[in-house]
Amino acid sequence: MSDPGEEGKREAAGHGATPEPDTEFSIAQSNALLPLLLIAALTVLVLLVVTVRSRPVIPPVGAPADKAYSPKDFPEVFKALDALAVKDTGPELARASFPVPPPPFTEGMFPCMSCHESIPPNAERRPLEAMHADIVFEHDAEHRWCLDCHDVTDRNQLRLANGTLVPFTESYRLCGQCHGTQFRDWRTGIHGKRTGYWDGPKRYLLCVHCHNPHSPRFAALAPLPPPVRPQFLAAGDAAAVQGAAAPPAGEETGHGAQTH
Amino acid sequence: MAHRPTDVPAVDGSAEERAQPAAVLRRRDFLTAIGVAAAGYLAGCSDEVREAFFRNHFLELSPQEVEARLRRLRDTYGARYGKNVDMSAVAARPGVVFGYALDLSRCVGCRRCVYACVRENNQSRDPQIQWIRVLEMEKDKGIDFAEANPYYDPERVPEEHHFYLPVACQQCRQPQCTMVCPVQATWQEPDGIVAIDYDWCIGCRCCMAACPYGARHFNWGDPHVPADEINPDMHVLGNRPRLRGVVEKCTFCVQRVRDGRYPACVEICPVGARKFGNLMDPEGEISLILEQKRVFVLKAELNTQPKFYYFYGT
């Protein structure tokens, strides 16, 4: 003991009013029991942990990923895919340098001049109220407005900064004025999407097919449902294989049908 | 020998044979009978069964035998699904090695690719098999497979503070799966696609254990695809209907890409995150991505050398 004085003090305190000497005495007596007790306590602890942790975490029926979905559950998604498919390798794609599908006009909006022919052009910057009020403009709204891109006299075309008029099918030239790196990547197929043939004619999507030009941040979309969890895997016709443990996932489609 | 009495001296084989009772069926006769019966059965059954019985490894088939197998598959599936099946065995083109790139800065985790793949490649609907698995990960944690969640299902994606990592077959240049296959039912084609001969696979699943990407899937049950959903444009090493007890995986849509088309996942991706092309073409999009963007592969430390690259387009 490096400090016998303190040790002695503590002992003195122990021998005082408290029944601590008894405790010390009993521990010394049960020297053989101590390891046994320890082992028993450890065993109980291990068993407890094992029972708690090893219980399979089975999400209740109705939780996500309890049903196997098939592509036929989402016909609208694949209708869009089939519309994009490039079937003909012929003249349509060979003509243009960047063949694109028709721009995504709102129904009945194009040609713009069918209305604007009779409306005197007004180049004053102002919020639109009578028409086009539904357009949410979040494209550098502080600095830009309609006539920075739309031509004031020929509304059927777009207007580059240098005054060149370009049709809506070449709107990438307009976007590329500011977004040069994206335009560079788009031309080589790194940015944006191309369909068709990796070794042949390709159809490009215009910038505006994915980015609303008036509010270009890519809009969040609903995901298709997750893969079925393994415990629900063969829930359909293989219920017999899994016995009563297989939940009746075939009937419990409510959740998925509502969400998706 | 324990059964021989110790007082009898050991005799040679012929003496022992003579000592056996005559009524016992001798092994030689038994084997001969079996052989004769089998030969008789095979002689009597149809060409189709004979072909299936004596079929060879796909790579060892002569052009005539390939044609015969295609015809057989065409007839089988045509009858089963009531469709005109276009079954091809188009070989790899010289000078082409396929590469794939996926823009992680664009992917929103919408899972359109998963279902387009299921539809294109005739994956079993029930029990469900999906070749593409989209993992949701937290931006704070980076690529961490232990924390990845494939079952995310929010109202809208992308969710804040998350990114999405779709994983399918990485088409490695050093494919571990092909190296462990005890019957060589899976191999790397000259254009880099790792193919499986479904007729040759014995279902031991060694390849699944060897694959570090979880890209291979096993048909535990009879795969089921409704007849009206079958894609009749098939390749014998690709999307033809599988059998129970075989392994399957992404083939880069071999039936499409050997025709020059893009894979189905590339065409459906609504954000254009998926890129596909010929690695040997210096002007192709994959070469340009490798040249210009920040590119990485999954589990590079395993030296599998995937041809599936992930990159950041921004």
pLDDT score of B209: 97
Residues of A in contact with B293 (CB under 8 A): 190
pLDDT score of A64: 72
Cβ B81 vs Cβ B226: under 8 Å:
no
Mark yes or no for CB contact A199/B260 under 8 Å. Answer: yes
Burial of A136 (0-12, 13-18, 19+ CB in 10 A): exposed
Residues of B in contact with A65 (CB under 8 A): 151, 153
Q: If you write DSSP's letter for every residue of A61-74 in order, what string do you get? A: BTBTT-S---GGG-
Mark yes or no for CB contact A220/B156 under 8 Å. Answer: yes
User: In terms of CA atoms, which chain B residue is nearest residue A255?
Assistant: B153
Of B133, B156, B285, the CB nearest to A190: B285
Interface of B with A in 26-85 (CB under 8 A): none
Tokens read off for A180: 């040069």
Average pLDDT over residues A176-195: 93
Does residue B218 belong to the interface with chain A, where contact is any CB pair within 8 Å? no
As a whole number of angstroms, the distance between CA A7 and CA A86 comes to 91
User: In terms of CA atoms, which chain A residue is nearest residue B281?
Assistant: A199
Residues of A in contact with B127 (CB under 8 A): 68, 233-234, 236, 238
Does residue A49 belong to the interface with chain B, where contact is any CB pair within 8 Å? no
To the nearest whole percent, how much of chain B has pLDDT over 90? 82
Lowest mean pLDDT among A103-117, A224-238, B190-204: A224-238
Burial B275-298 (b: 16+ CB within 10 A, else e): bbbbbbbeebbbbbbeeebeeeeb
Interface of B with A in 89-118 (CB under 8 A): 108-112, 114-116, 118
Backbone angles phi, psi at B195, to 5 degrees: -105, 160
Does residue B270 belong to the interface with chain A, where contact is any CB pair within 8 Å? yes
Question: pLDDT tier at A20 (50, 70, 90 boundaries)?
Answer: low
Does residue A76 belong to the interface with chain B, where contact is any CB pair within 8 Å? no
Question: pLDDT tier at A78 (50, 70, 90 boundaries)?
Answer: confident
pLDDT score of A257: 35
- The one-letter code for the residue type at B107 is C
Of A72, A192, A198, the CB nearest to B277: A198
Mark yes or no for CB contact A227/B293 under 8 Å. Answer: no
Distance from the A220 Cα atom to the nearest Cα atom in chain B, whole angstroms: 5
pLDDT score of A234: 64
Query: What's the ipTM?
Result: 0.82
Does residue B162 belong to the interface with chain A, where contact is any CB pair within 8 Å? no
Cβ A58 vs Cβ A231: under 8 Å:
yes
Cis omega before residue B127 (within 30°)? yes
Sign of the dihedral defined by the CA atoms of residues A197, A199, A202, A208, in that order:
positive
Interface of A with B in 99-158 (CB under 8 A): none
Check residues A95 and A80 and name the one with the higher pLDDT: A80
Cβ B217 vs Cβ A231: under 8 Å:
no
Residues of A in contact with B254 (CB under 8 A): none
As a whole number of angstroms, the distance between CA B183 and CA A258 comes to 47
- Residue spans per domain, chain A: 103-121+134-218
Burial A24-57 (b: 16+ CB within 10 A, else e): eeeeeeeeeeeeeeeeeeeeeeeeeeeeeeeeee
Distance from the A42 Cα atom to the nearest Cα atom in chain B, whole angstroms: 29
pLDDT score of B51: 72
Mark yes or no for CB contact A195/B313 under 8 Å. Answer: no
Instruction: Profile chain B (314 residues) by mean pLDDT over runs of 10 residues.
Output: 50 55 81 91 74 83 91 92 93 96 96 95 94 96 92 93 96 96 96 95 96 95 93 95 95 95 94 96 94 95 96 90
Mark yes or no for CB contact B115/A71 under 8 Å. Answer: yes
pLDDT digits (tens, 9 = 90+) for A24-55: 555 556 577 888 899 999 999 999 988 877 76
Residues of B in contact with A227 (CB under 8 A): 114, 128, 130, 133, 150-151
Of A189, A198, A226, the CB nearest to B150: A226
Of A198, A218, A236, the CB nearest to B262: A198
Interface of A with B in 220-239 (CB under 8 A): 220-229, 233-234, 236-238
Residues of A in contact with B271 (CB under 8 A): 193, 210, 218
Size of interface A-B (CB pairs under 8 A): 142
- In a mutagenesis test of the B interface, which of A66, A69, A186, A198 is the best target, namely the one with the most B β-carbons within 10 Å? A198
Mark yes or no for CB contact A81/B133 under 8 Å. Answer: no
Tokens read off for A135: 């357009």
Strand B133-138 and strand B98-103: pairing? Answer: unpaired
